Amino acid sequence: MSGAANFGSQSRRELPARMGLAGWGAAAGLVTGLPVGALMGYQGMLADRGIGAIPGWGPFILYATAAGAAIGLVVAYRPRGLAVAASCGVLIGLLGWLLFWLTLDRVLRGQTPTWSILAAAEAYPELVADLLHGGLTGAVVHGLFSLRARRSRSESAPPESEQLARVVIVGGGFGGLSAAKRFERLALRGAAIDVTLISDSNFLLFTPMLAEVASGALEPSHISAPVRAAVVHTRFRHAAVEDIDTDGRTVSLIAGSAPAERIPYDHLVLAVGSVPHFLDLPGVQAHGYTLKDLNDAILLRNHVIGLLERADHMEPDPRERERLLTFVVAGGGFAGAEAVAELFDLTHGVLHYFPG
C-alpha cells in the first residue's frame, strides 16, 4: 500500500488507536497510583474506605487506573510539552476528586453524596492525593508517548504495507505549526505518517504584537518562541526552500553553505505566509518601512529615535523639524492602527528626554 493510501485509511484505525492510548494511560495511572495509594494508606486515609471484603486501597487503585486512561486520551489528543501534560493530569485529578471522593465513594459506602463546603474540607487530603496522582500520571504519559513517537520515527525500512506517508510542511508560522500539531495528534493516534517542517526561521513570531516591539513596549523575545519546542514530535529543518518539483514530489532545500538537498514528499503543505503589498501607491515601497518581522520592528524603532535626535540637535529650521517629526502610516487595518498607537506612545513617552 502506498503512503498516500495508508494516510487515507487513518480513520479506520482511529478507534483501536484510541483504545491503545487509553491502555497506555491506564498503565501509567496504575503505576503512579501504587506509590500514591501506599502514601495514603500509610497516613490512614484509606482505613475506612473498604467495600465489603475489598480493602480500602482497592477502590483507589481502580480509580487511579480509570483516571490514567482518561489522561492518556486527553494528552494524546492535544500533545504538548511536559508541563502541559502534567497540568492536564492535575485537572483530571480535580475532576476525579469531585466524581470519586465526593460522589461515588459515598454512594459505595451507603452514604448520601453531598457537595457542601464542609464535605469538601473533609476530603481535602484526598484532593491533594488526586492532584499529585494526576500530575505524575500526566508526566509519565507524556514520557511514554514521546518515546513511542521517537521509536516510530527511528524505525528503518518499514514493511511495504506499513509505508509511512511523508508529509512536508513549508513554513513555520501560525499555519505551518498548526498543521504540524494536527499531524502530530494523528501520528500519536496511530496514523502512519512522517512529518517534516521546513522553515527559514527557527522561531515562531507572534506578528500581531510587532508594533509593541517597534515602540519598545516589548522585547523581541517576548513575542517569539522556538519552533522545535512547539512541535516536539515533528522533524524540523531550518532551511530555505529553493525549488519544488511537483512532478518528482521533492522539495529542494538550502541551509547555509551546505549543498542543496532534496526532501521527498507524498503530501505537501504550503504555509509560507504573506509579503507586504504596496498597492502600487507612489513612493510607499521606495520610502516606507514594512512591519513584517523583528528586523522591521527594530529598524523602525531606531529610525524614529534617529529622527527625534536629528530634530533635537541637528535641525534649526522649525519647518524642517516639523517635517521630520511627522509620521504617516499607509494602511488603516489592524496592523496600521496598532502601529499608529504604538508610535504615538513611543514618541510621547520619550519627548521629555529631548528638551530641544
> pLDDT of 333-351, one tens digit each?
888 899 999 999 998 888 8
10 Å Cβ neighbour count for 322?
A: 11
**Domain for residue 62, yes or no?**
yes
| pLDDT value, residue 255 | 86
Residue where one domain finishes, among candidates 243, 270, 297: 270
* Cα–Cα distance measured from residue 279 to residue 23, given in angstroms and rounded to the nearest whole number: 57
> Which residues participate in catalysis according to the annotation?
338
Residue 69 half-sphere exposure toward CB, CA atoms < 13 A: 12
Residue where one domain finishes, among candidates 207, 236, 270: 270
Same domain for 18 and 130, yes or no, is yes
Backbone angle region of 317, left / alpha / beta, with phi > 0 → left and psi within -120 to 50 → alpha: beta
Mean pLDDT for the stretch of residues 168-191: 89
Give me the CATH number covering residue 190. Answer: 3.50.50.60
Same domain for 236 and 202, yes or no, is yes
* Cα–Cα distance measured from residue 171 to residue 214, given in angstroms and rounded to the nearest whole number: 24
**Domain for residue 276, yes or no?**
no
**pLDDT tens-place string over residues 237-266:** 999 999 999 999 999 999 887 888 999 999
Asked if residue 168 lies in contact with residue 62, where contact means CB atoms within 8 angstroms, the answer is no
The C-alpha cell that represents 346 in the structure block: 513611543
Same domain for 306 and 234, yes or no, is no
Task: State the alpha helices, DSSP H only, in the chain.
Answer: 3-8, 14-42, 57-77, 82-96, 105-108, 117-122, 124-154, 174-188, 210-215, 227-230, 284-287, 294-309, 318-324, 334-350
* Cα–Cα distance measured from residue 46 to residue 129, given in angstroms and rounded to the nearest whole number: 12
Same domain for 207 and 138, yes or no, is no
**Domain for residue 189, yes or no?**
yes
Confidence band of 281 (pLDDT split at 50, 70, 90): confident
**Domain for residue 51, yes or no?**
yes
Same domain for 185 and 237, yes or no, is yes
Same domain for 38 and 134, yes or no, is yes
- Exposure b/e, 109-148, CB count within 10 A at least 16 = b: eeeeeeeeeeeeeebeebbebbbbbbbbbbbbbbebbbeb
| pLDDT value, residue 14 | 52
| pLDDT value, residue 90 | 93
**Domain for residue 330, yes or no?**
yes
- The one-letter amino acid code at 278 reads F
Same domain for 146 and 15, yes or no, is yes
If one counts the domains in the chain, the total is 3
The C-alpha cell that represents 180 in the structure block: 504540524
The C-alpha cell that represents 1 in the structure block: 500500500
Pairing outcome for strands 250-254 and 240-245: antiparallel
Confidence band of 77 (pLDDT split at 50, 70, 90): low
Asked if residue 236 lies in contact with residue 227, where contact means CB atoms within 8 angstroms, the answer is yes
* 78-85 LR contacts (CB < 8 Å, sep 24+): 78/185, 79/145, 79/181, 79/184, 79/185, 79/188, 79/232, 79/233, 81/142, 81/229, 81/232, 82/139, 82/142, 82/143, 85/138, 85/139, 85/141, 85/142
| pLDDT value, residue 190 | 74
Confidence band of 150 (pLDDT split at 50, 70, 90): low
Same domain for 11 and 103, yes or no, is yes
Asked if residue 66 lies in contact with residue 170, where contact means CB atoms within 8 angstroms, the answer is no
| pLDDT value, residue 17 | 59
**pLDDT tens-place string over residues 119-142:** 888 889 889 999 999 999 999 988
**Domain for residue 15, yes or no?**
yes
Same domain for 288 and 219, yes or no, is no
Same domain for 150 and 172, yes or no, is no
The fraction of the chain above a pLDDT of 90, given in percent, is 39
- Name the 3-class secondary structure at 280: coil
Same domain for 115 and 183, yes or no, is no
Asked if residue 192 lies in contact with residue 183, where contact means CB atoms within 8 angstroms, the answer is no
| pLDDT value, residue 78 | 62
**Domain for residue 279, yes or no?**
no
- The pTM of this model reads 0.62
Report which of residues 136 and 155 the model is more confident about. Answer: 136
**Residue-level length of the chain:** 356
**Domain for residue 221, yes or no?**
yes
Q: Which domain holds residue 322?
A: 284-353
Same domain for 136 and 10, yes or no, is yes
- Greatest C-alpha distance within the chain: 97
